[in-house]
Amino acid sequence: MLWWSHLSALGGLNVTVLLAVGVAAWLVGARCWRLALVWCAVFGGAMLVAAASQVAFIGWGIGIRALSFTGFSGHAARAAAVFPVALFLLVERGLPRLRRGAVAVGGLLAVTVALARVQVGAHSASEALSGCVLGLGAAALFLARARAAQDCSPQPLLLALLAATILLPRADPAYSHQWLTAVALKLSGRDRVYLRNDWQPAQGPYVPPCAPDRLRFAVLCT
């Protein structure tokens, strides 16, 4: 279980978002303006879709009960979007075979993160798989444009970021699910969240899992 938890942590915000920002920053520094915008659009768009799907279930119970689907796995989506792109850019000046291999390794790493999310009980298979597909789709859109770009290889900075985030993963510093829950309750106007166990709202009002002195806006832990 410890190994699965380690793999699951690779999809955390403190890993994937750091790499995503690193990719964008280096592309801007390399004056690959359009490619940087494409990356921000596809990565941000995929994350918005994943977050919106989870908010839809928490606030309104929208999902696919037969598949135990309550929203795209954010961890799986982020990992699938960022790892193939980061590894591709590391070897962007290499031979085509090397670039394809790097993308394949990134995709395989993303699949293991999705599998880990199932193993640690964080998501159902449908949620992890769909999140992985969503992220890989975003990565594919970016790579389709990146192959035509030249001299946008962020090797030194991205290599350091990649090594640090993979070797030193840890729990998310922010309670991302708490933010999604707060947004869902605010938009839906409810005080109860939907639960995957019976696909019904909780019997009582939502109680954030934190001490009262860390509670903000009645529903958000800080």
Domain ranges of the chain: 2-167, 176-221
What percent of the chain has a predicted confidence (pLDDT) above 90? 42
Greater confidence (168 vs 171) lies with 168
Residue 94: pLDDT band (50, 70, 90) is confident
Q: Residue 171 has what pLDDT? A: 47
Strand partners, 216: 220
CB 194 within 8 A of CB 201: yes
The predicted pLDDT at position 109 comes to 95
Neighbours of 113 (CB within 10 A): 30
Q: What is the mean pLDDT of residues 176-186?
A: 85
Grouping H, G, I as helix, E, B as strand and the rest as coil, residue 105 is helix
Given a cut of 50, whether residue 113 has pLDDT beyond it is yes
For the chain, percent helix, then strand, then coil, each to nearest 5?
65, 5, 30
Question: What is the pLDDT, as a whole number, of residue 49?
Answer: 98
For residue 112, pLDDT over 90 is answered with: yes
Largest CA distance in the chain: 59
Average pLDDT, the chain: 85
Going by pLDDT thresholds of 50, 70 and 90, the confidence category of residue 84 is very high
DSSP state of 169: -
218 conformational bin, left if phi > 0, alpha if psi -120 to 50, beta if neither: left
Q: In the prediction, which pLDDT does 191 show? A: 86
Which of these ranges, 14-23, 68-77, 113-122, has the smallest mean pLDDT? 14-23
> Does residue 14 carry a pLDDT above 90?
no
